[in-house]
Amino acid sequence: MTKRNIIGFFAVIVLISLNISGCNSCKNRYESPGKLKIEKNDTIPVIKEKTAVLEKVTFFIENSGSMFGFVNQANEFKNSLVGLAYLPEFDKALKSFYFINGTSNPLRNSGIQINYVGNDPEVFKNRLNQKSFNIGDVRFSDLNKMFEIALDSAKGNQISVLVSDCVYDVGEESDPLTALRIEINKTQQAFRNRLEKENIQTLIIKAGSRFDGPYYYASKKGSKQVNNEERPFYIMFFGRTELLNKSLTEQTIGSKIEGRFETARFFINEEKSIPYQIVPSVDIKGEFKQDFKDKFKLINAKPLKGEFQFAIAADFSSLSFSDSYLTSTGNYDCPYSNFSVVKVVKISKRIPGVEGTHLITVFTDKNPVGDLGIVLKNAAPGWVMETDADNEDLIDSTHTFGFKFLTDAISEAYKYKNNGRNPATFKILISK
Amino acid sequence: MSRKLYIFAIGGTGSRVLKALTMLFASGVKIGSDFETVIPIIIDPDTSNGDLNRTKDILRLYQEIRNQVDQPDDFYTQEIKTINEITVNTPVVNPDYFQFKLKDTDTNTFNQYIGFDSLSEDIAEKDDKNFVRLLYSAQNLRSNLDVGFKGNPNMGSIILNQFTNSEDFKRFGQTFDDDDAIFIVNSIFGGTGAAGFPLLLKNFRGNKNIPRHAKIKEAPIGGITYLPYFSLSKNDEINAESFEEKAKIAIDYYNRTIISLNQINMLYFIGNRGNTNQEEYAVGGQEQKNKAHFLELAGALAVLDFCKNINSITRTTQIKEFGIEHDAQNLTFTDLNIENAKQLSAPLTKFKLYTEYLGKGLSGSLNISRWTKSNIKLTPGNKQSLLDKNYFNSAEYKTQIRSFNSYFDEWIKEMKDNRPGFSPFEEITADNALEIVKGQTPKGNKSFKAVDIQNCLLTDNISIRNKEKKHTMLIKIFGRSTDKVLSNRNLLIR
Amino acid sequence: MNEFFGTIYDTLFGIFNNLYFLIFQHLYDNGGYIKLGLSFILIPLVCWLLFYYLWKYPYGKIWHWLIWMTVTVFIVFCATYGIANTEILGSDNQALNEAIADASTGYGDYAATLPLKYAMANSLLALIIGFIYSLIMKQFSKIQLHLPF
């Protein structure tokens, strides 16, 4: 071979090698490698928040007789409320504090009494006592009306807060539960009406505080003295989802509420999709390979000893559910498939190539092949059931008479508006 | 219209010129002008003459090889046939038919031939011995005729007379067609040639007994007469010192009888005075095997010149002489006139390279290079070579190709060793094969590799493949490959 | 083509591990598989084209062919090693680089074994495809028609 030919030969080899290796970014530029992938047929998630600026926070504190036990001493109730009043996230907003009691029930010869306390949290703090509470019609409370008024105050860039013990005053009915049901319907109506006009989130915080005073029965005559024992109370926030998510994260709440607390959120599920991806390196049972082209597809799927399991990572950062809600497998469903969600954990240690907040593990001991849909539901948290009591025999730190009816009503109203939408839906295709 | 050229090669010189011409034909020279066939006719009573037999053998091999080449278009292009093949139309190659035999010369002496003994001693008789003694010496009368006329044209003119009434001559006449031509080669200082030349001409132009006499009478006739160009190592019965004297006398005769009477259309003269080669003395027979001389090659060029100008010949005899550009001891192509150089350079160099390759280069490629392999796997038959080991071991290759090539190399070597020498080629080895042309050193690789490469490239060429005619591929592939290789390196004068 | 080559390496040669899926996802997304695949297809193609159509040596023997095969396979080995090394260990994929840098993930150790694995796989493929190229190309070669046989 002549020298010329040898040089030409190596030149060709070099050219090919350069060409091949130079094609570094020639493929799939639109997909930046390593980042979370979104299902192709979903819209691009709108995680960016609207510039929601909180303008006003309106506090409604129920000051019926059954609430007096919360304000006759320094306790968690007072501390939590004051803490919330002084929330840094509320600094720039106008504040208004009201005491609310009375009933709109025409048979009671009463009326809803809304008494303005002031716009200064300091003043508000100083009015949290029995003497200041004793204003308006302390004989009665009207939860439905309170909801209406509070919901109404949560418009535009305004939040409203309702503090109550959430006990429905059904009077001395022979069938208190039926009476409760009737009341609940009105609650549901109130929420439905409000939701027609605006996308309002309802955040219910259940907290506990020392209570020293009479507990007036809602379903029968009389009262019971509770001496310095813990009783539940409820702080309910109403406002646009963006405002509540921004101002009232679990962390924020936790920083101000004294003692244990639980939360439940109700909101309209938006059309946005929650980013998710298959994580082939974790919780594997069986054999499979992630399809390179369609990242929401598993191919060559084969169970091992009859078992097939894998995990997906989801980014729930745009959702305001609590960790306990998100990690509860009962809040997930795999409709029309052989799979079930067996574990959900918060991602604490970074997994290479995975961007997300939680790992959801799904399992089946049947044929894994087919379309798999994993759904995060809008469900009532577990504590709701634990809180509920259908009678007033036990007055303690946990239970609230008819609480489930209340949350069901709210839940139904939101469910109606959601029209089958879930907060998050993940679709995976599994083939052989 | 297919024309024939009859070449009458008289005597030893005629044989040697014919040999040179055959070598040129083998190397691809064609006489052109629509002359399809060359019919050599050797006239030499010296049947065991070395030169004669060498030439006949060369002609035989030429025909045998050419018959095994399908439509040759480079080496061996020119068709050579014997009269017998024309008349009888047989494919049988019998070299004896290249020669017109003389009767009664094998065993007789001259006096026996002329019936000297039957002549009278009486002066008064019409045919008497004394009259004869005036014309022939005692030595002449005693001469054995089987070795020719030993430089005595007076004897030759008598013996050769029988020739024109022979069957051979009659057959020649029968085959003569319109547009055919005749060329005669002779030496003026010899015995046979000096006598035969005018005799032949006289018969061509005047013998009404020859069949198709009318055609032959008007046919274009050319001839080359060799003046002395060599001497002998000693003087005996044949005296080289008498060559010039005899030449003068003969030329005078030619002038009066041939040239003035326009018996011949084109007459070429050639010779070389001084610095001539000395041949080994021999009185004919197989001992007379003169070394090939450049002038014989030049004589072959005369044949080509005659044919080239065949359409412009005149009734008046034209005379031509041969010259070269540079007088040198050892002539190369560049010493020749440019037209002659162009005529000779390409054919001879190609053929020389071809013979050298088969002698020195084939061993390096046989059964290695693709063009010599016939057992290549996964390859169709039309890509397998026909020039495999079997071919090069065949009897045909050995007895025909190798033998002819050997004659060619011998011919080139003899011309080189002669005086003046003709040595345009260097001695080469397999590694410097392309330094074959004297005075030329081509760039790049000089080995036979270039030839092998070209042979590989040509092997698939369907026009050079023929299974029936065994030498087709060899002859055609080397005709092309040597041409390509030498042309690429500008080693040919064209 | 990306998937085709990807399948060759992960299914045929088993160069795949779900635990380090990010590497293979990156190779796919970045066209790394195409580069690897084209290496064992194009380099032998060029090499054998040179051998059969540009190498004008009329005395070629079987050992010439064997040496050339060795050279071709070696070039493919080196090219593949380089490509795999660049694609996996020298990429601009931040997530992958972080994973490799973090010893606790095991990515670094596993990734370091891959260039050799791909180089070996491609060498074998180059050997096979080179042989196939030979059988095809020799038909049209005038000088090396007789090689390898």
pLDDT in tens, C66-93: 999 999 999 999 999 999 999 999 999 9
What confidence score (pLDDT) does residue B274 get? Answer: 59
pLDDT at A310 over 50: yes
Report d(CA B310, CA B181) in Å as an integer: 9
A221 and A285 in a single domain? The answer is no
Cβ contact B456–C61 (<8 Å):
no
Q: How far is C63 from chain B (nearest CA, A)?
A: 12
Q: Is B35 helix (H, G, I), strand (E, B) or coil?
A: strand
Cross-chain CB nearest to C28 (options A9, A280, A292): A292
pLDDT digit string (tens) for chain B, length 494 residues: 579 999 999 988 899 999 999 999 999 999 987 899 999 999 887 666 778 889 999 999 999 999 999 999 999 999 999 887 877 766 667 777 777 777 666 667 777 777 777 777 776 766 677 778 888 888 777 877 666 566 676 777 777 777 667 778 888 888 899 889 999 999 887 667 777 888 888 889 888 888 888 999 999 999 999 988 766 665 555 565 666 777 788 888 888 888 888 889 999 999 877 545 566 655 555 555 678 999 999 999 999 999 999 988 888 999 999 989 988 889 999 999 999 999 999 999 999 999 999 999 999 999 999 999 999 999 998 899 999 999 999 999 999 999 999 999 999 999 999 888 999 999 999 999 999 999 899 999 999 999 999 999 999 998 889 999 999 999 999 999 999 999 999 999 98
Nearest Cα to Cα of residue B140 among B205, B206, B195, B199: B195
Kindly state whether C54 is in contact with chain A, defined as any CB-CB distance less than 8 angstroms: yes
Q: In A, which residues are within 8 Å of C19 by CB distance?
A: 280-281
Q: In B, which residues are within 8 Å of C142 by CB distance?
A: 370, 456-457, 459-460
Mean pLDDT over A67-85 rounds to 91
Q: Is B167 helix (H, G, I), strand (E, B) or coil?
A: helix
Q: What angle do CA B50, B53, B54 make, to 5 degrees?
A: 80
Name residues whose C-beta falls within 8 Å of residue A349's C-beta, 6 or more positions apart in sequence.
Answer: none
User: Residue with structure tokens 């009015």?
Assistant: A127
Q: List the subunits that have 3+ CB pairs under 8 angstroms with B.
A: C
A183 and A233 in a single domain? The answer is yes
User: Residue with structure tokens 């998100």?
Assistant: A326
Cβ contact C143–B379 (<8 Å):
no
Q: What is the dihedral of CA C48, C49, C55, C59, to 10 degrees?
A: 50
Q: How far is C65 from chain B (nearest CA, A)?
A: 13
Please name the helix (run of DSSP H) or strand (run of DSSP E) that holds residue C137, with its range, or none: helix C107-137
Report d(CA B70, CA B78) in Å as an integer: 13
Half-sphere exposure of C126 (CA within 13 A, CB side): 31
Kindly state whether C149 is in contact with chain B, defined as any CB-CB distance less than 8 angstroms: yes
Q: In A, which residues are within 8 Å of C48 by CB distance?
A: none
Pick the more confident residue, A319 or B151.
Answer: A319
What confidence score (pLDDT) does residue C140 get? Answer: 94
pLDDT at A429 over 50: yes
Q: In A, which residues are within 8 Å of C91 by CB distance?
A: 24, 33
Please name the helix (run of DSSP H) or strand (run of DSSP E) that holds residue C116, with its range, or none: helix C107-137
Q: At B89, which amino acid appears?
A: N
Find the chain A residues whose C-beta atoms sit closer than 8 A to any C-beta of C: 1, 5, 8-9, 12-13, 16-17, 20-21, 23-28, 31, 33-35, 280-281, 284, 288-290, 292-293, 295, 350, 352-353
What residue ranges define each of the domains in chain B, with the CATH number in brackets?
Answer: 3-108+144-323 (3.40.50.1440), 341-488 (no CATH)
Report d(CA B269, CA A31) in Å as an integer: 96
pLDDT at A31 over 50: no
Is residue A17, in this structure, part of any structural domain at all? no
Among chain A residues, CA nearest to C35: A20
Name residues whose C-beta falls within 8 Å of residue B405's C-beta, 6 or more positions apart in sequence.
Answer: B354, B355, B358, B359
Is residue A190, in this structure, part of any structural domain at all? yes
A193 and A291 in a single domain? The answer is no
Pick the more confident residue, A287 or B98.
Answer: A287
A368 and A396 in a single domain? The answer is no
Cross-chain CB nearest to B449 (options C58, C138, C145): C58
Please name the helix (run of DSSP H) or strand (run of DSSP E) that holds residue B185, with its range, or none: strand B181-187
A250 and A320 in a single domain? The answer is no
Nearest Cα to Cα of residue B357 among B328, B392, B332: B392
Among chain C residues, CA nearest to A10: C47
Cβ contact C54–A24 (<8 Å):
no
Mean pLDDT over A282-286 rounds to 92
pLDDT at A365 over 80: yes
Among chain A residues, CA nearest to C31: A27
Q: What angle do CA A3, A8, A14 make, to 5 degrees?
A: 130
Local confidence band at A2 (pLDDT 50, 70, 90 cut-offs): low
Cross-chain CB nearest to B457 (options C57, C143, C146): C143
- What is the number of domains present in chain A? 2
Report d(CA C81, CA C76) in Å as an integer: 8
Exposed, middle or buried: residue C26 (CB in 10 Å: 0-12, 13-18, 19+)?
Answer: buried
Is residue A126, in this structure, part of any structural domain at all? yes
- Chain A neighbours among C 7-36 (CB < 8 Å)? 10, 16, 18-22, 24-26, 28-31, 34-35
Helices C21-29/C94-101 angle, 10° precision: 150
Among chain C residues, CA nearest to B381: C139
Report d(CA C94, CA B353) in Å as an integer: 70
What confidence score (pLDDT) does residue A199 get? Answer: 84
Please name the helix (run of DSSP H) or strand (run of DSSP E) that holds residue C29, with its range, or none: helix C21-29
Among chain B residues, CA nearest to C139: B379
Report d(CA A77, CA A208) in Å as an integer: 7
What confidence score (pLDDT) does residue B126 get? Answer: 67
Q: How far is B31 from chain C (nearest CA, A)?
A: 35
A140 and A258 in a single domain? The answer is yes
Is residue A183, in this structure, part of any structural domain at all? yes
Nearest Cα to Cα of residue B430 among B413, B414, B451: B451
Cβ contact B376–C58 (<8 Å):
no
- Chain A neighbours among C 31-50 (CB < 8 Å)? 31, 34-35, 38-39, 42-43, 46-47, 50
Cβ contact C28–A1 (<8 Å):
no
What confidence score (pLDDT) does residue B480 get? Answer: 96
Buried b (16+ CB within 10 A) or exposed e, B329-338: ebbbbbbbee
Q: At B261, which amino acid appears?
A: L
A320 and A239 in a single domain? The answer is no
Q: At B116, which amino acid appears?
A: F
Cross-chain CB nearest to C56 (options B377, B453, B460): B453
Report d(CA B58, CA B64) in Å as an integer: 10
Kindly state whether C3 is in contact with chain A, defined as any CB-CB distance less than 8 angstroms: yes
A304 and A412 in a single domain? The answer is no
Region label for A420, one of left (φ > 0), alpha (ψ between -120 and 50) or beta (otherwise) = left
Q: How far is B441 from chain C (nearest CA, A)?
A: 22
Among chain A residues, CA nearest to C50: A9
Cβ contact B457–C57 (<8 Å):
no
A236 and A371 in a single domain? The answer is no
Report d(CA B302, CA B339) in Å as an integer: 12
What confidence score (pLDDT) does residue A39 get? Answer: 46
ipTM of the complex model: 0.88
A281 and A401 in a single domain? The answer is no
Peptide bond into B420 cis (omega under 30): yes
Q: What is the dihedral of CA B194, B199, B200, B205, to 10 degrees?
A: 140
Cβ contact C50–A9 (<8 Å):
yes
Residue C7 has which token pair?
């399948």
Kindly state whether C61 is in contact with chain B, defined as any CB-CB distance less than 8 angstroms: yes
pTM of the model: 0.76
Q: In C, which residues are within 8 Å of A26 by CB distance?
A: 31
Is residue A34, in this structure, part of any structural domain at all? no
Cβ contact C25–A352 (<8 Å):
no
Pick the more confident residue, A323 or B360.
Answer: B360
Among chain C residues, CA nearest to B374: C146
Cross-chain CB nearest to C99 (options A24, A289, A353): A353
Percent of chain A with pLDDT over 70: 87
- Chain A neighbours among C 87-116 (CB < 8 Å)? 91-96, 98-99, 102, 105, 107
pLDDT at C24 over 80: yes
Kindly state whether C45 is in contact with chain B, defined as any CB-CB distance less than 8 angstroms: no
Q: How far is C58 from chain B (nearest CA, A)?
A: 5
Kindly state whether C73 is in contact with chain A, defined as any CB-CB distance less than 8 angstroms: no
Helices B338-356/B403-417 angle, 10° precision: 130
Cβ contact C35–A293 (<8 Å):
no
User: Residue with structure tokens 């409709």?
Assistant: A335
What confidence score (pLDDT) does residue A356 get? Answer: 92
Q: How far is B371 from chain C (nearest CA, A)?
A: 8
A228 and A357 in a single domain? The answer is no
Q: List the subunits that have 3+ CB pairs under 8 angstroms with A.
A: C
What confidence score (pLDDT) does residue A249 get? Answer: 82
Report d(CA A407, CA A398) in Å as an integer: 15
- Longest Cα separation, chain C: 59
Cross-chain CB nearest to C95 (options A31, A33, A289): A33
Cβ contact B453–C58 (<8 Å):
yes
Residues composing chain A: 432
- Chain B neighbours among C 86-145 (CB < 8 Å)? 135, 138-139, 142-145
Cβ contact B378–C142 (<8 Å):
no
Supply the range of the domain harboring residue A114. 56-269+390-418
State the SS3 of chain A: CCHHHHHHHHHHHHHHHHHHHHCCCCCCCCCCCCCCCCCCCCCCCCCCCCCCCCCEEEEEEECCHHHHHHCCCCCHHHHHHHHHHCCHHHCCCEEEEEEEECCCCHHHCCCCEEEEEECCHHHHHHCCCHHHHCCCCCCCCCHHHHHHHHHHHCCCCEEEEEEECCCCCCCCCCCHHHHHHHHHHHHHHHHHHHHHHCCEEEEEEEEEEEEEEEEECCCCCCEEEEEEEEEEEEEEEEEEHHHHHHHCCHHHHHHHCCCCEEEEEECCCCCCCCCEEEECCCCCECEEEECCCCCCEEEEEECECCEEEEEEEECCCCCCCCHHHHCCHHHEECCCCCCEEEEEEECCCCCCCCCCCEEEEEEECCCCCEEEEEEECCCCCHHHHHHEECCCCCCCCCCEECHHHHHHHHHHHHHHHHCCCCCEEEEEEECC
Q: In B, which residues are within 8 Å of C139 by CB distance?
A: 378-379
Is residue A429, in this structure, part of any structural domain at all? no
A249 and A280 in a single domain? The answer is no
